[in-house]
Amino acid sequence: MDTLLCNNDGDIVIGTYQPSNTLLSLSADQYTAGSATWSDQSGNGLNFTVSTNASLKGTDANGFPYMNFGGSYGHAKRLVGSTLTNIPAPTTGKYTVFCVTQILNSTASYRTLTRGATEDHPIIVQTGNNNLGLWDSYGSNFVDSGFDVTTDMTSTRNLLVWELSTTAPIYKFQLNESGTDSTINSATSYTLPFASLGGVSDSQYWGNIYEFIVYDGVLSASERTYVAEYLTHKWDISSKLPSSFTSTHGVLTTQETLAFLYAGSGTETTYTWDAEGVTYADILVVGGGGAGRSSSGYAPAGGGGGGEVVYRQGVPVTPGVEIKVGRGGPVATQGGISQFTSSIRANGGGSGGSGSGGSGGGANRNVTTGGASVKLSVDGMGNVGGASISGIVGAAGGGGATQAGFNVTGGSGSNGGEGYATTVFGVWNTVYGSGGGGGDRSGVGGLGGTNAGNGGKHDAADKSGTPGVAHTGSGGGGAGAENGGGTGGLGGSGIVLVKPNPGALDGLGSSVYTQAVGAYALRRLFGAYTGAQVRLRRSTDNAETDVTFDKYGYPVNFDVDTWLGGATGYVVTWYDQSPASSNAAADTVGNQPVLTQFGGKWVVQFDGNTQNLRYSQIDVLSVWCRYYILTGTNNYSTLIGRAGADKSLRQAGDNIGNAGNVGDWIASGTGEWSLNTTIVNKTNARLYSPWVQWNTYTGNRSSSYGNLMNEMGRGSYSGAYRGLNGYMSELILYSTQGALTGKHTSLNQTV
C-alpha cells in the first residue's frame, strides 16, 4: 500500500499508510478472478489459497470489488505445501485487525471470519442472535463481546476494527471507529494466529470481504487514524466515521503515489494541490467511464465507452495545481472530464448507444456506427465503440483505451474494448478506461474489458448491465433485451494518479538538474528525464535492449536476469540523464564494461584495464561519484579522465583528488582540486579489499585549467592504462565550480 488521498480542499489527509509492523494485507482489488492465489500485499508473502471459481470476485452496486465468502465458493486458506498453516504469531502478543466487509443475512448457526489451523476462532458471528465474539474451543465455546450485528452491516460496506491480545482484555471491537469498545476479557484457551479467512469447512462466514489487514501490535492513535481514513476513503464509506474523526496529516510512503478520487454528487470533484517541494511528476489522468444504455422492449443496448487515459512522465509541477476528477456516467450518460492542469485533460467515456467520448459507446441493436473517440489531449488513449449490423439483433460493446469495442456478429452482445494497464503506481496498478459489454438479445451479454461492466442477458434476472468499477474510468454494460427493459450499468468514476518527484534528486533543487553536464546512474535521477538508463548487449547473440530503472534502482517492468539467460550483459550505452544528453559508450565493442549486481543493486563493473565509457569532452569543475574498488592490485583507480592524456581524477591508495601527489595527475601540476568533503563512509584505513561500504566522492576544483574530461573508468599514465578495478553506480558532472556546495549530505541520503 503506497498511496495518498486528498480531501475536497486539496489537502493531503491520508496515505495508504503501511506501518512497519504490517503483517498481512489482502484486498479484493488486488485479486485476479479465477486465480487460486489471493496475494498478500504486505511484502511478507503470506498468500492465501482460494477457489478458482470466477464468481468468487464480485462487484457491488457501487462498482466496488469484493471477495464472496457467502457460502458457495469456500474460504481462503493459508497453505504451506498442502498443510494448513497459521500466519505468524504477533511478536508483541497483540494484533490490530482492519476489515472492510458486508456481513450478509444468514440462518447459519455460527459464521467464522478467522480460524486457527487446528483450534479457536478468534472472530465469529453467532447468527442465532447476531452476536459478535470469539470461539473458545477448550472452554465455554462461544464468548459474546456484547455487540450485535446491525441491519446496516448486512446491507452495506462497513469498517470493522479489532484489537486482539493474549492478555486481558483479549478482544476489543469497534464498528466504524465509533469510539465505543465491545470487550472480552478472557477465555479458557485462546490463540490469536489463524490460517483460514472467510469461513471453515463447516462454518462459512457468509459475508463479502473488500479488504483485510493485520498489524503486529496495537497501533498508535495516529497510525490507527491513518489506516482507518485510508480504508474508508478508498471504499467510499468515510461518511460512517464520527464527525470528529478527521486528520490533516500527510504520509509519504515508499512509492509516493497520490490518488485523487471522485467524491461528491456533481460532474466532477475539484482539488487545488499546493505541491510543496514537488518539481516534476509522473501522472495518469482518466476520465469517468460512460454508462451503458437501458434497453427498450426487446431491443438490447450498447455498452458505455471507457474514459480517455493520459499517461505522462516528467511533467513540471508548480504550486496551486488544479486537479479535477470526473464522475462515472449515470445511465445513458457520458462520463465526466478529468484533468491535471487545464492543459492535460481526459474526456469522459461515451454513453452506450453510440455516444461519443474518450472512447465511444457501443451501438444499440441495428445501429451500424459506434460512438466516436473524441480525445482532449494529443497523447490521450481512446477508441471507437463497436457497431451493430442491420438485421443483427445484438448490441455492441464500448471502446477501451487500447482497443476498439467489438462489432456485433449475432444475437449476443459484443465485448467492450480493453483499457490501459498501469505498472508504476503501486496499489493503484490496474486497468483503466475499459469499455462496457453490449446487451444481449438471443445469446449472452457481451463482456466488458477489465474493470468494465458486462452486458445484460435477455429475458433473465440479470437483464441489466453491470457497473464499471469505481475509480477506473471504465464503462458500464448495456442492458439486455427484456419485455419492460433492463437498465444500463453505471460508468466507473475517473481518477488522477500522481507520482511526485519521480527522480531521486528532484527534492534537491532544480539546479542539480539544470546545471549538470553529465549524469549517469542506474536509477532515475531526475523527473525531467524519462528515458532508459542503460543499453545492454547480450554476449551469446549480441542482441541489444534498453533498460529503464526507477528512482530506487529497480528495473521497470523488465527482468534483466531472465533476458540475459546466464549470458554476460555488456554496457553499450550509459545514457546521460542531464540536459546535455552526452551519452557514454566504449571506444570499441571489446572494451565495453559489464552490468552486474552487487549488494542487491545493479552496477557497472570496469576491469581496471581497457574497459571504459566515453562521453563528449567537457570541462569538469564539480563531481559526484559513487564507486567501489575491488582490489588493490592496481593502485591508481581512475574515476574520470581524458582519453590518452595524463589528466584524471583518481584514487591512489587511501588518497583521492589533491591528497598526496594525486593533484599532479589531475592537471599536470597546476590547478589542484579543492575538496568540499573527504571520502564519505570511509570506515577503515585502506579503501580496497577488504572493506564493506561504498564510497562517494564529492568535490570541486578551483581552476578550469587542463580539466577537460571525456572518459570514465579508465585513465592513462605514461602510455599505460590505470583504470577503475571495481564498480561504479553513479557519476554526475558539472562545469560550474561549487555546484554541489551544501548538497553533499543530501546526495548521500538519496542513495
pLDDT higher than threshold 60 for residue 242: yes
Q: What is the pLDDT of residue 126?
A: 80
User: How many other C-beta atoms can be found within 10 angstroms of the C-beta atom of residue 232?
Assistant: 23
The grid coordinates of residue 203 equal 462454518
The C-alpha atoms of residue 128 and residue 635 are separated, in whole angstroms, by 81
Calculate the alpha carbon distances from 248 to 15, 230, 641, 745 in Å: 11, 12, 52, 30
Rounded distance between C-alpha atoms, residue 145 and residue 311, angstroms: 50
Confidence of residue 266 (pLDDT cuts 50, 70, 90): confident
| Longest pairwise C-alpha distance within the chain | 95
- Strand 495-500 to 257-261 pairing: antiparallel
- Are the beta carbons of 284 and 496 closer than 8 angstroms? yes
Q: Is the pLDDT of residue 531 over 90?
A: yes
Beta-bridge mates of residue 736: none
pLDDT for 454 beyond 50: yes
Q: Summarize pLDDT for 400-418 with one digit per residue, the tens.
A: 999 999 999 999 999 999 9
CB–CB of 398/416 below 8 Å? yes
What is the per-residue pLDDT for 244? 63
Q: How confident is residue 578, by pLDDT bands cut at 50, 70 and 90? A: very high
Assess whether pLDDT exceeds 90 at residue 382.
Answer: yes
Query: Is residue 245 very low, low, confident or very high in pLDDT (cuts 50, 70, 90)?
Result: low
Residue 704 has pLDDT above 60, yes or no: no
Bond before 690 cis per omega within 30 degrees:
yes
Strands 257-261 and 3-6: parallel
Counting Cβ atoms within 10 Å, is residue 591 exposed (0-12), middle (13-18) or buried (19+)? buried
pLDDT in tens, 712-739: 988 776 677 778 888 889 889 888 777 7
Residue 39 C-alpha cell reads as 496475494
What's the pLDDT score for residue 591? Answer: 96
CB-CB contact of 328 with 345 (8 Å): no
d(CA 399, CA 307): 9
* pLDDT recorded at residue 10: 37
Task: Give the model confidence (pLDDT) of 589-603 as tens digits.
Answer: 999 999 999 878 899
What are 459-478's pLDDT values in tens digits? 777 899 999 998 999 999 99
Choice among 157-161, 263-267, 353-357 with the minimum mean pLDDT = 263-267
**Separation between Cα atoms, residue 72 and residue 69, nearest integer Å:** 7
What are the b/e assignments for 158-196, b being 16+ CB within 10 Å? bbbbbbbbeeeebbbbbbbbeeebbebeebeebbbbbbb
Measured CA to CA in angstroms, residue 659 lies from 493, 666, 679 at distances of: 63, 11, 11
Identify which has the larger pLDDT, 577 or 701: 577
Other beta carbons within 10 Å of 110: 18
- CA distances to 282, 372, 432 from 310, in Å: 11, 18, 10
Average pLDDT estimate for 552-575: 94
Residue 149 and residue 132 in contact, taking contact as beta carbons nearer than 8 Å: yes
What are 485's three cell numbers?
A: 427493459
End-to-end CA distance of the chain: 22
Query: Of the spans 197-211, 525-539, 616-630, which averages the highest pLDDT?
Result: 525-539
For residue 312, the surrounding DSSP H or E stretch is strand 309-316
CA-to-CA distance for 570 and 539, rounded, in angstroms? 7
Question: What's residue 680's pLDDT?
Answer: 30
Question: In the Cβ-directed half-sphere of 160, how many Cα atoms lie within 13 Å?
Answer: 30
